[in-house]
Amino acid sequence: MTRAAGSAVDRGGFALIVAVVAVLIIAALANGGLYIAMQQSRAGSAGSRAAAALYAAEAGLSVALANWNAVALDSLTPGATIALASGRLVSGESYAVRIRRLDSGQDARLAYYLALSTGRAHGAWGGRRQVALLLRAGPSDALCRGAALTARGELRVAAGGVVGGGDRVPETWTADPTICAGRDPGGRPGVITEDEALVRLEPGGVIEGSPPVLQSPSHEANPWADMERRFRDLAERADVMYRRDTRLAEIRPRVDAQGECARSASGNWGAPALPGHACFDFLPIIYAAGDLLIESAGSGQGVLLVDGNLTLRGGFEFYGVVIVKGRVTLTDQGSRVHGGAWVDNADPESSLVGGGAGIGYSSCAIRRAVLGSKLQVPHPLAQFAWLEILE
């Protein structure tokens, strides 16, 4: 009887040990499963954050290309880096983009850049991804580089009027050599025309250049033979638009409460005469759908497109590119175009430059207008342009 009772106790003790071991095994399995689940959750969360950071980095590249500051980047010294864009997406991810110039700067017609965009996911465990894009900025558009004035139809240069093809830097820019760094100086004809007989130089008027007047066949006198398509393409990209015949009495730069250039303000066409102004690097594309009359002592810059006749009075000065599909009239003292102009005048009445007004060729003003108006947009290299930087 004593041995039988001991055997039952022994069996009871063995069962307890088995139960404890079983519980420990189950607990270990549960903990292992929980650990694996947590690791998978963290991996999934990390992957999600990494993907969000990658999307933010890609968004940064898109923003940088859309807001390409050609004026600042064209003057960037080889090897130098600048911050071009930064911001935060609606979902909370942020991006920051830096641009580095890669070329030697010896070829003024071509520049290469590396755009490095860093995206970060929001939150304490936010991910970080970097992508890079190799870019090539091609040569500036050849708008108005043929002459001070390329004209169709009759042109009168009356007493006091000057059309000059000698390449000049505008007087207000001469104090800062960086403004016109990289320009392509060289004399141009004063006037290019289909028929030299249509150009009338009256007593007291001046046409100068190399040569003063160049007679050229129609397809050469108008370098954009498909002018209508090109004009419309530029007009569709206009920053400032006037939809009917317009008279402007005040054109001047404006700033907002933070001292930044108020680009959308009425009558703000940049500040070409004030190199230190917040609007000096604002060079808009301006489109007038009808006749445009400017009676202002101010100034403007960029690309001016007029789908009718253009009249400048009051000493108004424009720096950049002027393209007019009607006739041009500049007759007031001081009214001037610094850069180049194209006039496609089918009107029997002639274009007129006189009374102390003038059109003077300036490769610097044209170059700034083309760069600042985003007519020069960088393009990714054909192969191996995009890459992700793994750290």
Q: Which residues pair with 288 in a beta bridge?
A: 242, 306
The per-residue pLDDT string of the chain (391 residues; one tens digit each, 9 = 90 and over) reads: 455 555 555 555 677 787 788 888 888 888 887 878 777 766 666 677 788 888 999 999 989 888 887 777 777 888 899 898 899 998 889 999 999 998 886 665 678 899 999 999 877 666 788 999 998 876 555 667 788 998 888 999 999 999 999 999 999 998 888 888 756 566 789 999 888 999 999 999 999 998 999 987 654 444 555 567 778 878 888 899 998 899 999 999 999 999 999 999 989 999 999 998 999 999 999 999 999 999 989 999 999 999 999 999 999 999 999 999 999 999 888 899 999 999 988 777 899 999 999 999 998 898 888 877 766 667 887 666 777 776 6
Q: How many C-beta neighbours within 10 Å does residue 158 have?
A: 17
How many other CB atoms sit within 10 Å of the CB of residue 101?
21
Q: Which long-range contacts (CB under 8 A, 24 or more apart) does 105-110 make?
A: 105/77, 105/78, 108/182, 108/184, 109/138, 109/139, 110/136, 110/137, 110/138, 110/139
Place of tokens 């580089």: 145
**Helix residue spans in 67-165 (DSSP H):** 70-74
- Domains of the chain by residue range: 1-138+376-391, 149-372
pLDDT of residue 221: 44
Q: How would you class 143 by CB atoms within 10 Å of its CB: exposed for 0-12, middle for 13-18, buried for 19 or more?
A: buried
Cα gap 294→305, rounded to integer Å? 13
| Buried/exposed code over 204-217 (b: 16+ C-beta within 10 A; e: otherwise) | ebbbbbeebbbbbe
Query: Which among 188, 68, 186, 144 is positioned nearest to 304, based on CA atoms?
Result: 144
Of the candidates 253, 288, 286, the one whose C-alpha atom is nearest the C-alpha of residue 272 is 253
pTM over cut 0.85: no
d(Cα 27, Cα 78) in Å, to the nearest integer?
A: 64
What are the angstrom distances between the C-alpha of 329 and each of 163, 205, 309, 359?
13, 14, 8, 11
From the list 363, 357, 317, the residue with the least C-alpha distance to 340 is: 363
Query: Which residue stretches of 67-118 are H helix?
Result: 70-74
